[in-house]
Amino acid sequence: MIIAIDGSAASGKGTLAKRVAAEFGYDYLDTGALYRAVALSLLNASVNSNNIDEKQAVNATLTLDLSLTQTAEIRTDKVAALASIVAAISPVRAELLALQRSFAAAPPSGKGAVLDGRDIGTIVLPNADIKFFIDADLDIRAERRTKELLQAGQSVMFRDVLADMKARDDQDRTRSVAPLKAADDAITIDTSKTDAAAVLALALSHIDRVGPSE
């Protein structure tokens, strides 16, 4: 079984994806971490992040060290901002598309896969068994992200996080290639006023209807 979860930044899609995967013993792929890892490897190579050269971005993708996806360094707002820019480059997306599809086609558990991102239900896995689109009010998402970053020891201010998140949202939604949007057959969940446990329960009730796994 393949479960696609898309949504905006800090909407709760990652939390939901991890919990759904744990519930069924499926494998989870955080596809945003791939774009973040490409961004981090560019920053590590000291590129000028205000003027990204497409060739450099493609090269960083082709030579990507996947272990970067597991590092804390990819979780900064600086990396997130560059990830959003890199994610608008078509050949970068094409390269990462193959990797995401292979993961879904042969998840290590051999049981099922949960992928979260921006274009999983629309482009990466249009035939996923079930699709969710997770969103929440911008202010609430920025508040959540500010808390997360402070807890991770980063010094940030709500106002800056809000501005960065808005810029990133606009970029992700309006880019010409694979923009952030709900697939026509996605189930939309607004997490503004719902906690993670209730979001999970709601998602599981939908998955049950589709007939999950053993």
Starting at the earlier edge strand, list the strands of the sheet with 113-117.
Answer: 27-30, 113-117, 2-7, 130-135, 187-190
Nearer to ligand DC, 69 or 112 (CB): 69
If you ran DSSP here, which 8-state letter would residue 186 be given?
P
> Which parts of this chain interact with ligand DC (CB under 6 A)?
9, 31-32, 35-36, 80, 83-84, 87, 117-120, 168, 172
> To the nearest whole angstrom, how small is the minimum distance from the Cβ of residue 109 to ligand DC?
21
The token duo for 43 is 């920053």
Q: What's the CA angle centered on 121, arms 116 and 126, to 5 degrees?
A: 135
Report the nearest approach of ligand DC to the CB of residue 139 (Å). 17
Q: How far is the CB of 108 from ligand DC (least distance, A)?
A: 20
Quick check: helix, strand or coil at residue 115?
Answer: strand
Distance, CA of 23 to CA of 16 (rounded, Å)? 10
Residue 40 or 87 with smaller CB distance to ligand DC: 87
CB of 153 to ligand DC, least distance (A): 19
**Closest of 98, 102, 89, 81 to residue 170, by C-alpha:** 81
Which SS3 state, helix, strand or coil, does residue 165 take? Answer: helix
Residue 121 CA to residue 46 CA, distance in Å, equals: 34
Nearest CB to ligand DC, comparing residues 75 and 212: 75
Q: Minimum distance between the CB of residue 18 and ligand DC, rounded to whole angstroms?
A: 13
Q: Rounded to an integer, what distance in angstroms lies between the CA atom of residue 9 and that of residue 18?
A: 15
Q: In this structure, are residues 5 and 13 in contact, taking their beta carbons and an 8 Å threshold?
A: yes
Q: CB 51: neighbour CB atoms within 10 A?
A: 7
Residue 53 corresponds to which tokens in the numbers above? Answer: 């050269």
For residue 32, the minimal CB distance to ligand DC (Å) is: 2
Is 71 or 212 the residue whose CB approaches ligand DC more closely? Answer: 71
15 vs 130 by CB, closer to ligand DC = 15
Nearer to ligand DC, 127 or 205 (CB): 127
Tell the residue number behind the tokens 């209807």, with chain if given: 209
